[in-house]
Chains A and B, each alone.
Chain A
Amino acid sequence: MTFDIITNNLPALTVIIPLIAGFLTPIIGWINRKLCWYHVMLTMFIVFLITASNLLTVINTGTIHYQFGGWAPPFGIEYVIDLLNGFVCIIIAFIGLMVSIYSKESIKKELPGKTIPYYSIYLLLVTGLMGMTITGDIFNFYVFLEISSLTAYALIAIGDRKDGIVASFNYLIMGTVAASFILLGIGYLYAVTGTLNMADMQNILPTIYDNKVVLAALAFFMAGFSIKVGLFPLHTWLPDAYTHAPSTSSALIAGLMTKVGAYAMIRFMFGVFTPAFVIDMTRMTEILTWAAALAIIVGSVLAIAQSDMKRMLAYSSVSQIGYILLGVGLANVIGMQGGLLHILNHAVMKSALFLVAGAIFYRTGIRNIHQFKGLGKRMPVTTTVFLIAGLSMIGVPGTVGFTSKWYLVLGSMEAGMWIFVLIILASSLLNLAYFWRVFDNIWFGHPHEVEKIKRDEAPLSMLIPMVILAGLCIFFGIFAYYPLHYILEPLSNMLLGIGVLP
C-alpha cells in the first residue's frame, strides 16, 4: 500500500525531493553545519535511485505520464518521462551525486563559511535541471529554466574572487537574453496553438507550419538554446564562467548545464516541432551541423592557446558541444545515437576533468599547465584519472570518447557529408595536441629535484568520485552496447519518427 503510493509518484518526487531538501538545508545547517554534506549526499543518492527506477520503468513498460494535482492535460501540468529525458535525468542525478561527495573538502577550503548557502543552491540547481528535463509543459519548462539559470549564476559568483562575480554577471546578461528568446518563442507558439502541453502542441502545429509566427518561434528557440549550450560564436560567456567558478561549481555546471541545454534543443526540435519540419521544411538541422562543425574546430584551436587548466577545459567544452549537436543535426539514426551518447560521455569525462583540476588546485594551488611538472609523482591517482579522462576526450579506442566519435563518423558517412569525417578526425588531433601538453608536463616534466617530491594525494572523499567517473569512462567504452541497445537506438528511431516505442 505505502509502496504503491511512492512508486506512483516517482516522476513528481524526482523534482520535489531535491526542492524540499534544498529548503531544508538552511534549517539543518542551523542545527549543525557538518550535517549539510550528509544531507545533500543522501538526497542526491535518493534522487539517483528514483531516476534509475524511472528509467527502468520506461525501458520495460514505456513512457510514464504524471498529472500534477490530478488535472488532465492539456489543461494541467503533465510530467512525461520517455527514453530521452529518463536518460538525461539519470545523468544529472549521477553527476550531482558524484560532485556532492567530492564537495566536502573542497567547499571547506574554497568557500569557508558559505557551506549552507552553497548546498542550498546546489540542490536548487539540481531541481531546476531535473524539472527542465522531466516536464511535458513548455511554460513549466521555462520556469525551471529560470530556476536553474539563477542558481547557476549564484554558484559561479559565490567564491571570493572578483573575477567570478564579473564572469557570473556576463553569464547573467547572456543567459537572460537567451531566456527572453525562449520565452518569446513560447509566447508565439501559445498564441497560435492555444496550448502549452508539448504533445498537444506537436499535434496542432503541423496544420499551421506555413504560418510565419511558427517559423519565428523556431528561430527564437534555436537562438536562445544556442546561447544556453554555448554554441560557437555565442559561447563567450562560457570560458570565463567555467574558469572563475569554485571547483565544485565548475564540475557541476560544465558537466550538466550545457547538456540539459542540448537536451532541451533536441526536445524542442523533435518533441514540439516535428522531424519533417526541422529536417526537410526549414532545414534547421543542416544549419545546426555546420554551426556545430565550426564549433568543433574553433573550440579545439582556442583550447590549444590556453595555459590555465580550467580555461582550456572550458574551451574544450565548446568543441564537445559541437559533437553532440553535429550528431543531432545529421538527422540519421547512427549520427543521432552518436550525438546522444556523447551527452552521457561528455558529462562523465568533463566532470572528471574539472574534478581533477579542482583536486590539483586544492592540494597545490596551481592552475597553470606549465607548472604541473612532477605532479605525476606527487598525486599519482588524481593524474591517472586525468590521463584516462583525457584519453577519452581524444577518443582512444577502449574509452567512451571513441564510441561516440565512431558513431558520429559513421553517421556523417551515411549522410554523405565526408567533410564532417575530416572535421572529426582533425579535431581529434587538435584534442591530442592540447591534452598532450598537460600529459607531458605531468608525467615527463622534470623539475630539478625529482627525488624530493613526496606523495601528497587528494583526500579520499575527493578521490572516490574521480575514480568512479574514470572507471565509467572505460566501462562505457567497452560496454557501450548497453546504453546504445536499450536506450539510444529505440530513442533515435523515435525522435526521427521512424519506429515507435515498444
Chain B
Amino acid sequence: MSDIQQSIIIRTIVRIMIPFILLFSLYVIMHGASGPGGGFQGGVIFGAGIILYAMIYGIEEAKKKISDKANRILASGGLVLYAGTGLLAILFGGMFLEYGVIPLMPTTAYTAKILIDVVEIGIGMTVLAVMISLFFDISPPETEEDMHIHEEVE
C-alpha cells in the first residue's frame, strides 16, 4: 500500500485523471433525462474519483477536499432537492412528481426534462456523498508511519 502511495508515476497519473473522471460524472448526471446514465451512475463515478484520490493521497488529504460535514449536507440536501421537486408539482396543483404542471418552459415535455435533470442532480449529490462517507467510515485510521510517508513524499 505504502509503496503504491509513494510511486511518483501513480501519483501523477491520478492527479491528471481525476478532473476528467469528475467531468465525465457530471456529463453522466446531466445526460440522465435524455440518454443512458443518470444520477446514480454519475454519483458513483464522482464518488469513485474522490475515493481514488483518497487511496493514493490518504484519507486526511481527501477529507480536506470534501469534509464529513460537507458529505452530510450533500447527502441530506440531495434528497431534499429530489423530494422538493416532487412537492413543487403538488404546489402547482398536480400529483407528486407530475412535472408537466409546472409552467417553467413552453412545452410540458421540456419542463419534465429540466425537472428530471434537477432530480438527477439531487440523486447524484446523495449517492456521491454516501459513497465517500462509507469509504471514509470503513477505512482503518491511518497509522503514524503512513503519515510519515506522506511527509517524505511531499
Q: Which residues of A contact B (CB under 8 A)?
A: 5-6, 9, 12-13, 16, 19-20, 23-27, 30, 66-70
A20 to B96, CA, bound (A): 13
Task: Report how far A19 CA is from B72 CA in the complex, Å.
Answer: 16
Residues of B within 8 A of A13 (CB): 90
The CA of A5 and the CA of B73, in the complex, are separated in Å by: 30
B93/A5 in contact, CB under 8 A: yes
Task: Say yes or no: B95 contacts A9, CB within 8 Å.
Answer: yes
Chain A binding site: helix, strand, loop or mixed by DSSP? helix
CB of B72 within 8 A of CB of A12, answer: no
In chain B, residues 81-110, which have Cβ atoms closer than 8 Å to a Cβ of chain A?
83-84, 86-87, 89-91, 93-100
Kindly list chain B residues whose C-beta atoms are within 8 Å of the C-beta of A12: 90, 95-96
In contact, A16 and B96 (Cβ under 8 angstroms): yes
Please report the C-alpha to C-alpha distance between residue A13 and residue B89 in the assembled complex, in whole angstroms. Answer: 12
10 A-B pairs whose Cβ atoms sit less than 8 Å apart in the complex? A5-B90, A5-B93, A9-B96, A20-B84, A23-B76, A26-B72, A27-B73, A69-B89, A70-B95, A70-B100
**Closest CB in chain A relative to B67 CB, distance in Å:** 13
- B77 partner residues in chain A, CB cutoff 8 A: 27
* Neighbour of A19 across the interface among B83, B90, B98, B100, CB < 8 A: B83
Say yes or no: is B79 at the interface (Cβ < 8 Å to chain A).
yes
Name the one of B73, B79, B84, B96 contacting A69, with C-beta atoms under 8 angstroms.
Answer: B96
Residues in B whose Cβ lies below 8 Å from that of A27 = 73, 76-77, 80
- In the complex, what residues of B have CB within 8 A of residue A19's CB? 79, 83
B95 lies within 8 A of A16 (CB): no
The CA-CA distance from A5 to B96 in the complex, in Å, is: 11
When A and B form their complex, which 7 residue pairs have the shortest distance between CB atoms, in order from nearest?
Answer: A70-B98, A12-B96, A69-B97, A23-B79, A20-B83, A23-B76, A26-B76
Besides A9-B95, A67-B95, 9 other CB < 8 A contacts? A9-B96, A19-B83, A20-B87, A23-B76, A23-B79, A24-B76, A66-B95, A69-B95, A69-B97
Instruction: Assess whether B98 is in contact with A69, with CB atoms less than 8 Å apart.
Output: yes
A11 — nearest CB in chain B belongs to which residue?
Answer: B96
Residues of chain B within 8 A of A66, CB atoms compared: 95
A24 touches B80 (CB 8 A): yes
Q: In the complex, how many angstroms separate the beta carbon of B75 from the nearest chain A beta carbon? A: 8
| Contact partners of A67 in chain B: CB under 8 A | 95
Rounded to whole angstroms, the CA-CA distance of A68 and B77 in the bound complex is 23
In-complex Cβ contact of B96 among A26, A30, A68 (8 A): A68
Complex interface: chain B residues within 8 A of A70 (CB): 94-95, 98, 100
Collect the chain A residues with CB atoms within 8 Å of residue B90's CB. 5-6, 9, 12-13
Contacts A9-B90, A70-B100; A23 near B95 (Cβ below 8 A) = no
Residues of A within 8 Å of B83, CB to CB, are 16, 19-20, 23
Contact mask for chain B residues 137-154; partner A; CB cutoff 8 A; 1 contact, 0 none: 000000000000000000
| Contacting residues, chain A, for B97 (C-beta < 8 A) | 68-69
* B-side contacts of A23, CB under 8 Å: 75-76, 79-80, 83
Q: Could you tell me the distance between the alpha carbons of A20 and B84 in the complex, rounded to whole angstroms? A: 8
Residue of B79, B80, B96, B99 with highest tally of chain A CB at under 10 A: B96
B93 CB to nearest A CB, Å: 6
Give min CB distance, A372 to chain B, whole Å.
Answer: 40
Q: B87 near A16 (CB under 8 angstroms)? A: yes
Complex Cα spacing A5 to B95, Å: 9
Cα distance A463–B94 when bound, in Å? 43
A70 to B89 CA separation, bound complex (whole angstroms): 11
Bound complex: CA of A68 vs CA of B79, how far in Å?
Answer: 18
Which chain B residue shows the least CB distance to A66? B95
Residues of A within 8 A of B87 (CB): 16, 20
- Report the nearest A residue to B77, measured CB to CB: A27
Q: Which of A5, A20, A26, A69 contacts B91 (CB under 8 A)?
A: A5
Smallest CB-CB separation from B95: which chain A residue?
A70
Q: In chain A, what residue has the closest Cβ to B86?
A: A16
Q: How far is the CA of A174 from the CA of B91 in the complex (A)?
A: 42
* A30: chain B residues within 8 A (beta carbon): 69, 72-73
